[in-house]
Structure 1
Amino acid sequence: MKTSIWKLTQLPAWLVARARSERGDVPGWVLITLMTAGLVLLLWGVAGETLVSIFQESMKRVGIIGG
């Protein structure tokens, strides 16, 4: 019982220490986000009209847009 009480009292300190030690690689995540956005823009530029027509046709088939 005494051990479990000690563990509960140490929990906040452990959580704070863990949060500080795992902040992550912010520049890496920024780079991944920018690269993903670039790929989306490139794909949209190359196949945008086709993607829109595919979406519109599929919505027509299920009867949501344009009946």
Structure 2
Amino acid sequence: MVTVVAFWVWLRVRVCDLRSQDGEAGDVPGWVMVTVMTAGLVVALFAVFRGAIIGAVQDAISNVVSGTRG
């Protein structure tokens, strides 16, 4: 999880360093901010509901493997 956060920080820094063709410093594009905020929301939700998510996925996989319906 630390690697994902480090990647998004690195990406934000890289995007902030980009310059437009006319030499003016640009702001962080909207799509980058949406992506970073979405990743943060996913990490926060996973941190809170980790047990429930893991349990649901394991139940789904075991139902597929055993051929039963829940």
Q: Give the TM interval when normalised to the shorter protein.
A: 0.5 to 0.7
TM-score under structure 2 length normalisation: 0.51
SS at match of 2:29: helix
Gap regions ≥5 residues in structure 1: 1-24
Runs of 4+ deviating beyond 6 Å: none
RMSD: 2.0
Residue in 1 that maps onto 2:56: 54
Question: Matches of 1:28 and 1:62 in 2, distance apart?
Answer: 40
With a CA cutoff of 8 Å and minimum separation of 6, indicate the structure with the bigger relative contact order.
2
Can you give the 5+ residue segments of structure 2 that lack an aligned partner in the other structure? 1-26
Distance 2:39 2:64 in 1: 30
| Aligned residue in 1 for 2:42 | 40
Q: Which has the larger radius of gyration?
A: 1
Q: Give percent identity, aligned residues only.
A: 43
What's the CA shift for 1:26? 5.8
